[in-house]
Chain A
Amino acid sequence: MNSAQALLRSSPEMVRIRQRKAARQLVQALLSHLVLLSVAVLFLVPFVWLIITSLKQETQVFTDPLIWIPKPVMWSNYPDALTTPAFNFLPLLKNTLFYVITTTFGTVVSSTMVAYGLARLRFPGKNFLFIVTLATMMLPGIVTLIPTYILFKTLGWVGSYAPLIVPAFFGSAFNIFLLRQFMMTIPWDLTDAALVDGANDFIILWRIVVPLITPALLVIAVFNIMYTWNDFFGPLIYLSNSKQYPLVMGLYAFRTQHSIQWTLLMAASLATCLPLIVLFFIAQRYFIEGITLTGLKGV
C-alpha cells in the first residue's frame, strides 16, 4: 500500500499537479505580501514623515514639491528641541517615569492583593464584590470625573501628582478581574500543602501564586505603562505647574507656544513616543497578550 502510494506520488502526473499547486501557492503568497506591504506602507508613512520632518530646516517643511530627503540633515534639531525651555526633555522624562513607575507599582501590588482575596479566600459578600467589580469595568470614567476632581480639590491635592497616583494603590477593576481569573486556575493542592506546612496567605501569595502568574502581572504592568505614558487628560486637569509636566503635557505646552517650529515639534513628538516603542519591541508578547485578553474575556 505504502509503496503503491509512493509510486503514485512520484508519477509524472502527480509531480506536475504538485508543482502547479506549489506555483499557485507561491503566486498567492506573493500577492498577499504585496497587499500587506502596501497597507504597511500606509501605516508607516506617517512615521517616516515624522522622522523626515524632524530632520528638516524649518523652511523645508511645507514646500511644493515635497522634500523627501532633508538637505542639509538637521541633526541639531534634536538637541535643540530637547533642550529648549519650552520642552525640556530630561525633566519631562523624569516626571513621566515617576508617574509611570509609581502607578504601575501601585496598581500591580494592590490589584494582586485584591485578586488573591477574591480568588483564593472565602468571606461573606465575596460574590457581590466580584459582581460590583465587573460592573465597575463597564462604568465610563465620565460619571465619576467631576466629583472626583472636587474631592481632590477639597483635599488640596490638585496641582500635585497625588490625584494621579494615589488611586492606583487601591486596585483597578480590570486588573483585579484579570488576575483573579489567572489565580483561579492555580490548583488548590499547591496552596493547601503550603497551608498545612504553616504558611500564611501572604507567604502563599508571594512564594506560590506570584511566580505562577508572572506573565499576567507583566501584562497589566505593560498596560499601565502604556496608559500612563500616553495619559493626557489626567495631567491636563490635575497639574498646573509646568515643572511637574510629564512628556505628553510638555509636548502640548510646546505646541501652544506663539511661534510654532514644526521641525522641533516633530523631533519632540518622536522623542515622546520612542521610549514606549522601544519597550513595545522588548515586551511585544505582553502587549499583544494583554489586548487579546481584553477582547476574549470582555464579553
Chain B
Amino acid sequence: MPGSSSQTAEKPSRFHLSQRRREAITGYLFVSPWILALLVFTAYPVIASFFFSMTDYNILRPPVWVGLKNFETMFTQDPLFWVSVKNTAYYALLSVPLGLLVGLLLAMLLNQKLMGIGFYRTAFYLPSLVPAVAATLLWLVILDPRLGLVNEALGALGIAPIGWFRSAAWAKPALILMSMWLGSGTSMLIFLAALKEIPQSLMDAAMIDGAGSLQRFRHVTLPLISPTILFNLIMGIIGSFQVFGSAFVATGSANTAGPLNSLLMYMLLLYRNAFRYFNMGYASAMALVMFLALVLVTVVTIRSSSQWVYYETAGRQ
C-alpha cells in the first residue's frame, strides 16, 4: 500500500491504535457481505457437495449415506454417463481449438489500420450478444437437413445435403459450427487487445532483420500473445466442458438428447439427474467428477504452458 507508510511510520500511540482498530472494524464492515457470500455460497456448497455425493438424496426424504455407490454406478453401470463423457470430450476437443483459431484469425483481421474497422468489429462481435436459446432456434432453421440455408449453399458447391441436428453423426458438428458463430466474439476481443499491446518497434525491428510476415507472426506475435492464448484456452475448456443451453434447446425437450443421444452432454445428463429425477446424490457425484476433471485438465494445461507461454518479465503479476 503506497502512501500508507506515512501513517505506519509514526510512533504507535494510544490514539493511533484505536484509529487502527476503528479502520479494521470499518474494513470488516465493508467486506462483510462478501465474507458471508464466501461462507454460504462457496465454502458450504463445496464441502456439502462431497457429503451429498456419498448419499442417496431426493430432497423429500433426508439423505441416506451410501458411501462410494454413486461413483461406482456412474463408472460401471450407467451407460449414459460414458455417452455424455464421450460427447462432451468430442465437443471440447473440436470446439476449443477451433474457437481459439477463429478468435485469433478474426482478431488479426481486425488488427489493421483501415477505415471502417469498427463496423467489422461490431459485425464479428454481434452474435455473442444473442442468447443461446435464440441462437439455437435460428440455427435449427439455418441447418435444416432438407431446406436449410447451409445445405442449400453446400448444394451449390455440389455437396450432398447434411443431416446436421437430425443425424447422429452430424449433430455435434452442427453444435460446434454454431458455437463458432456464437462464441468467437469474446475470445476475438481478448486477442485483439493483446495484439494491440505488441509494440510496433518490435515488428519494425523484425522487419529490418528481414523477417517475412509469417516469420514475424511465428517469432514475434505468437510468443507475445501466448499468455492470452493460455487464458482463452483455459476459459474455452471450462466453458466447453459445461456446455448446456445450446445442446438442451437443440434437442427439443429435456427427455431427449438428439439422435442416438448424440447431444447428451455432461451437463444435460447432470441436469436430468438433478432436476428431472431429483437424484441429488448422484448429480452431486457427477458434479464432483466434472470438477476434478476440470482441475486436472487445467493443471495439465498450465503445467504444459511453461513450454510454450512466453512471459516478458519473469516477475509478471
Q: Which residues from chain A sit less than 8 Å from chain B, CB to CB?
A: 29, 32-33, 35-37, 39-40, 43-47, 49-50, 53, 61-66, 110, 113-114, 116-118, 121-124, 126, 129, 132-133, 136, 138-151, 153, 167, 169-171, 176, 187-189, 192, 200-201, 226, 229-230, 232-233, 237, 248, 251-252, 255-256, 262, 265-266, 269-270, 272-273, 276-277, 280-281, 284, 287-288, 291-292, 294-296, 298-299
Contacts and interface: CB of A to CB of B under 8 A. Distances in A.
A233 B244 contact: yes
A183 to B, nearest CB: 11
A146 B52 contact: yes
Q: Is the interface of A mostly helix, strand, loop or mixed?
A: helix
A248 B135 CA distance: 11
A191 to B, nearest CB: 9
B152 A65 contact: yes
Contacts of B133: 232, 248, 251-252, 255, 269, 272
Nearest to B29: A117
A133 to B, nearest CB: 7
A232 B48 contact: no
A216 B36 CA distance: 24
Contact of A295 (B2, B142, B193): B193
B33 A113 contact: yes
Contact of B231 (A117, A129, A229, A295): A295
Given A129-B31, A146-B52, 11 more contacts: A43-B126, A122-B23, A123-B25, A136-B38, A147-B45, A150-B57, A188-B1, A230-B132, A255-B133, A280-B129, A281-B122
B131 A229 contact: yes
Interface of B: 1-4, 20, 23-31, 33-38, 40-42, 44-46, 48-49, 52, 57, 59, 106, 109-110, 112, 114-117, 119-127, 129-134, 137-139, 141-142, 144, 146-149, 152, 181, 186, 189-194, 197, 227-228, 230-232, 235, 238, 241-242, 244-245, 249, 252-253, 267, 270-271, 274-275, 280, 283-284, 287-288, 290-291, 294, 298
Contacts of A142: 242, 267, 270, 287, 290-291, 294
Given A139-B42, A256-B253, A123 B34 contact: no
Contacts of A287: 125
B49 A40 contact: no
9 A-B pairs with least C-beta separation: A188-B3, A117-B30, A295-B190, A123-B27, A170-B37, A121-B27, A144-B45, A147-B48, A147-B45
B238 A140 contact: yes
B26 A140 contact: no
A123 B131 contact: no
10 contacts: A63-B147, A65-B152, A110-B33, A122-B4, A122-B20, A143-B46, A145-B45, A146-B52, A269-B133, A280-B129
A279 to B, nearest CB: 9
Contacts of B192: 292
Contact of A146 (B36, B139, B232, B274): B274
Contacts, number: 266
A269 B59 contact: no
Contacts of B49: 143-144, 146-147
Contacts of A237: 271, 274-275
Contacts of A33: 114, 116
A235 to B, nearest CB: 11
A248 B165 CA distance: 21
Contacts of B40: 151, 170
Contacts of A133: 34, 38
B149 to A, nearest CB: 6
A232 B245 contact: yes
Contact of A143 (B36, B124, B288): B288
B10 to A, nearest CB: 13
Given A61-B141, A136-B38, A295-B190, A46 B181 contact: yes
Contact of A299 (B193, B230, B287): B230
Contacts of B249: 252, 255
B228 A295 contact: yes
